[in-house]
Amino acid sequence: MNGSRLRHTPCDNPGWSIHWPAVGALLAAALAASGALAQFVAIDLGTLEGNGWQAERVRVAFVAGGGARVDIGAFAGFGQKLAAVRLECARFAALRGVWRCDDGVLQGPEKLAVSFAYTPAQRSLVLALATTDGESWQLEQAGDAFTLKLARAQLVRVTPWLPGTIKPSAGRLSGMLHMAPGGFNAELAFEGAAFADASGLTAGENLAGTLALEARQDGGAWRWNTRLKWDTGALLIDPVYVAEAGHQLTAAGSLKDTHLEIDSARLDWRALGRIDGKAGIDTATWALRHWAIESSELDLADMRALLPQTWLEQHGLADLSLRGRARLAASARAGAAGMESVRIGLKEAKLDAPARRIGVDGIDLDFEYRTGGATPFRLDIAQARLKGLELGPVSARGEVRDERLAIANLIIPLLDGVLALNEIEIGRLAGRWRAQLRGAFTPLSMQRLTAALDWHPMSGSISAVLPQMNYVETASGSTFSVDGALLFKVFGGDASVDGIRIDNPFGRTPRLAANLKLSGLDLETMTGAVKFGSITGRIDINLENLEMENWQPLSFDAHIATSPGDFRKRISQRAVQNISAIGGAGAGAAIQASFMRFFDTFGYERLGLSCRLRNGVCEMGGIDRAGGGYTIVKGGGLPALNVVGYNRFVGWQEMLDRIQAVIEGNSKMVVQ
């Protein structure tokens, strides 16, 4: 016999999935509605609805021997949709107002063992669901209070309850969740959990731990506290990778409408240290409205271990090691132009990159920035090393104000001299980074400097005046430039570099433009430094319109010529040999008489060489034209000697090979 249809609302059928509370509500509602009609063999209940759920085409049938069967055509609720669900109870009874189903089977996407006892008058329900692999769910209702007990429940079944877009893809959940008017609490344990976002840059695998959560209503808001303990498993939040667990997070706060406030949070990280924080989150978009963090002293070696070796290799940091302790603090607010405050403290820190022979020891830093205020800055370094170049100790004092660090003076001992930097400013303007400084360094021994940097040994000394240098972040990258000229003293002469501009200095393809002028360089000091052969006198070098990309020259106009003035001018046979080699095949040394080839040195009037580089080819030139060639050395006095080059166009790589052959002593002289 059929009953009347209660209500009908269309419902789409998207396919099978199971939502366990939905199943419990469905069973309770169907059997409760059928209680008054138990005397019929079959009952069509039509559409049933409850708080947050709806069941369509509900039919209850009682079979001989005390069994019962419930069929539901479609069910929607609690974020899920089910279709064609059947419950069969081998033993079904309705005695003293209690509906009982024992040895039941729920058939849908999988077969589940079911039992329940429902008392409509008391609004009491005990529902148990179990699978063949040991998973079980037990729901107990007493009026408006619910208790859910789980044993090895699959985490994928609870994804509709979880916020955000990252959902678990594996794992089991055990424990208890209790809900009652005005509050709820949960004690849960998870194992084998895994998740990943669409990009794979945020992921976890084989995670195990415990979660405790408690909340209660307080006026129009919810007050809550939680504790998450992570015992095992690996976590990736690119580029940070954590394979060692044993950490704990505790937090407390409130939730009102879409405003989630984390009033206090504490992360106890094994070995690394402790991090405290607070935040405000808009749950409609999961965007941060404000946040603040502060750490205890963190171990820098453990911080370094959080970065995967593959990531370090990709960024050229595979050999980087860190030691010491660090304190960090920061805060920000949505809508603000930048950070509200930042504080970084380092204590007895040490940085080493052995493969590049870089090291910094004894770093003590106290840096703090606050919006609208000024704070002191302090940096002390015991010693720093670049290859064999050692500097320090360094002590810097300054002020941080309006996103800008200013240091008036910084003195850095360097080899046998001093590097003095002045008017140092580093900060942001209109949201982009800027830096500037000026300075000078006192004479440094070229012998010590070249040895420390693994350059070819040189003698003499070098000093410099550094005009204002600027670094500016741009929309397309960054630019380094110099206002005015860098002035040097080197090889007994004067050097200046102007028009300096480097686009994207830290990018993949930096581009440099500059002009170089050297006047009155002592040739005897220069040639002795590279074992070129002896030349006495002085020269001027002009390198104009230099353009380089990725530190390789694209174009320039280079000129080398004897300086004006009265000084001794002699050139050795070895120097002639090397000049001839640079001139290329066909370059020759013409001596006034054949017997003079036995002289060790020769007089000269002038020497000069030029290279105009375009498209990888040098257009060569000298003092003047000489037949089909160009004069490199013009003889003077007795014995006199001329060196003439005949190769007008030389590939840049070939030119470098010739110079390298000269340095290595493999050049040969042709004397005619």
More reliable by pLDDT, 666 or 44: 44
Residue 210 in any domain: the answer is: no
Regarding whether 512 and 501 lie in a shared domain, the answer is no
CB burial of 161-186 (b: ≥16 within 10 Å; e: otherwise) equals eeeeeeebeebbbbbebbbeeeebbb
> Cβ neighbours of residue 24 under 8 Å, at least 6 residues apart?
125, 127, 129, 139
Q: Which amino acid is at 98?
A: V
C-alpha torsion sign, points 560, 566, 572, 573 = positive
Lowest mean pLDDT among 387-401, 448-462, 609-623: 448-462
More reliable by pLDDT, 413 or 11: 413
pLDDT of residue 35 exceeding 80, the answer is: no
Name the domain count of the chain: 3
Greatest mean pLDDT among 25-39, 213-227, 489-503 lies in: 213-227
Q: What does DSSP assign to residue 254?
A: E
Torsion angles phi and psi, residue 340, rounded to 5? -75, -40
pLDDT over 70 for what percent of the chain? 87
Tell me what pLDDT residue 276 has: 96
pLDDT, tens digit (0-9, with 9 covering 90-100), for 255-276: 999 999 999 999 998 878 899 9
pLDDT of residue 65 exceeding 90, the answer is: no
Residue 168 in any domain: the answer is: no
Tell me what pLDDT residue 34 has: 44
Residue 261 in any domain: the answer is: no
Regarding whether 543 and 479 lie in a shared domain, the answer is no
pLDDT of residue 460 exceeding 90, the answer is: no
For the chain, how big is the Rg over CA atoms in Å?
41
Regarding whether 498 and 520 lie in a shared domain, the answer is no
Q: Which of 124, 143, 162 is the last residue of a domain?
A: 143
Regarding whether 501 and 635 lie in a shared domain, the answer is no
Tell me what pLDDT residue 302 has: 87
Closest CA to 609 of 577, 635, 641, 643: 643
Average pLDDT over residues 570-585: 74
> Cβ neighbours of residue 335 under 8 Å, at least 6 residues apart?
none
Regarding whether 637 and 556 lie in a shared domain, the answer is yes
Structural domain boundaries enclosing 449: 403-505
Cα 219 from chain centroid? 43
To which residue do tokens 């000091």 refer?
Answer: 525
Regarding whether 660 and 514 lie in a shared domain, the answer is yes
Lowest mean pLDDT among 78-92, 247-261, 354-368, 652-666: 652-666
pLDDT band at 289 (very low <50, low <70, confident <90, very high): very high
First-residue to last-residue Cα distance in the chain = 128
Q: Which amino acid is at 193?
A: A
Tell me what pLDDT residue 78 has: 62
Residue 212 in any domain: the answer is: no
- Number of C-beta neighbours around residue 318 at 10 A: 13
Average pLDDT over residues 232-261: 89
The enclosing H or E element of 24 equals: helix 20-33
Q: Which of 116, 143, 170 is the last residue of a domain?
A: 143
Q: Which of 505, 526, 551 is the last residue of a domain?
A: 505
Residue 23 in any domain: the answer is: yes
Tell me what pLDDT residue 215 has: 95
Regarding whether 612 and 498 lie in a shared domain, the answer is no
pLDDT of residue 527 exceeding 90, the answer is: no
Crossing angle of helices 573-583/652-664, nearest 10°?
A: 160
Residue 82 structure tokens: 């089910």
Q: How many CA atoms lie within 13 A of 435 on its CB side?
A: 8
pLDDT, tens digit (0-9, with 9 covering 90-100), for 182-222: 999 999 999 999 998 888 788 999 999 999 999 999 888 99
Regarding whether 483 and 596 lie in a shared domain, the answer is no
More reliable by pLDDT, 573 or 89: 89
Calpha distance 229→231 (Å, rounded): 6
Average pLDDT over residues 457-481: 86
Residue 395 in any domain: the answer is: no
Average pLDDT over residues 130-141: 88
Residue 492 structure tokens: 């007994």
Lowest mean pLDDT among 158-167, 328-337, 641-650, 651-660: 158-167
Residue 392 in any domain: the answer is: no
Residue 569 in any domain: the answer is: yes
pLDDT of residue 162 exceeding 80, the answer is: no
Q: What does DSSP assign to residue 161?
A: G
Regarding whether 660 and 517 lie in a shared domain, the answer is yes
pLDDT band at 33 (very low <50, low <70, confident <90, very high): very low
pLDDT, tens digit (0-9, with 9 covering 90-100), for 489-500: 888 888 899 999
pLDDT of residue 118 exceeding 50, the answer is: yes
Tell me what pLDDT residue 51 has: 62
pLDDT band at 628 (very low <50, low <70, confident <90, very high): confident
Tell me what pLDDT residue 631 has: 87
Tell me what pLDDT residue 519 has: 93
Regarding whether 109 and 52 lie in a shared domain, the answer is yes
Helices first, then strands: H and E counts in the chain: 7, 43
pLDDT of residue 530 exceeding 80, the answer is: no
Name all contacts of 127-131 with Cβ < 8 Å and 24+ positions apart.
Answer: 127/24, 127/27, 127/28, 129/20, 129/23, 129/24
pLDDT of residue 664 exceeding 90, the answer is: no
Q: What are the C-alpha distances in Å from 406 to residues 409, 480, 659? A: 9, 19, 45
- Number of C-beta neighbours around residue 539 at 10 A: 22
Regarding whether 564 and 622 lie in a shared domain, the answer is yes
pLDDT band at 583 (very low <50, low <70, confident <90, very high): low
Regarding whether 113 and 75 lie in a shared domain, the answer is yes
